[in-house]
Amino acid sequence: MKIFIDADGCPVTGIAVRTAKEYNIPCIILCDTSHLIQYDDAETITVDKGADCVDFRLVSLIQKEDIAITQDYGLAAMCLAKQTAVLNQDGKQYTPDNISGLLEFRAVSAKIRKSGGRLKGIPQRAPEQDKAFASALKTLLKSR
């Protein structure tokens, strides 16, 4: 088992790396060339900049017993198709039961933005979100 992190813009990379070390599980960080993300206890794979380059590389590497961490619904769907576990940065687990609704929400939101509409921005991250993520990751690791 390995933990793969879609690290571009991921606020919980450090928590995931520390948790992986605590459970003695390899951790792989994926980012593009516009980011420099290095942790002593994780392997970093840097890919070319471009739409979905990180996503496609992560999907090519991940296997059934692995865990992906991402806030990207499209990447989550591709990982679920490979029967992996997928968590977002708030500790919510993506599942076959909830991914369709999330993808639909993403499509509707894109349509609103494209037509000039505005959506509410993302609120500032709270410490409780980090705690929820850490707890969910540990629970998932204990169950595998």
Burial group, residue 70, by CB count within 10 angstroms (0-12, 13-18, 19+): buried
Q: What is the pLDDT of residue 108?
A: 59
* pLDDT tens-digit readout, 11-56: 999 999 999 999 999 999 999 998 989 999 999 999 998 878 999 9
* pLDDT tens-digit readout, 68-77: 999 999 999 9
Average pLDDT, the chain: 90
> What DSSP state is assigned to residue 133?
H
> Of 71 and 117, which is predicted with more confidence?
71
Instruction: Classify strands 93-94 and 85-87 as parallel, antiparallel or unpaired.
Output: antiparallel
Q: How many Cα atoms within 13 Å fall on the side-chain side of residue 122?
A: 8
Q: What is the pLDDT of residue 9?
A: 84
Q: What is the pLDDT of residue 106?
A: 56
User: Mean pLDDT over residues 116-135, rounded?
Assistant: 85
Q: Would you say residue 124 has pLDDT above 90?
A: no
Q: What is the pLDDT of residue 135?
A: 98
- The model carries a pTM of 0.86
> Of 21 and 107, which is predicted with more confidence?
21
**How far is the C-alpha of 97 from the C-alpha of 140, rounded, in Å?**
17
Fold designation for 3-143 = Rossmann fold (3.40.50)
Q: Which two tokens stand for residue 142?
A: 């204990």
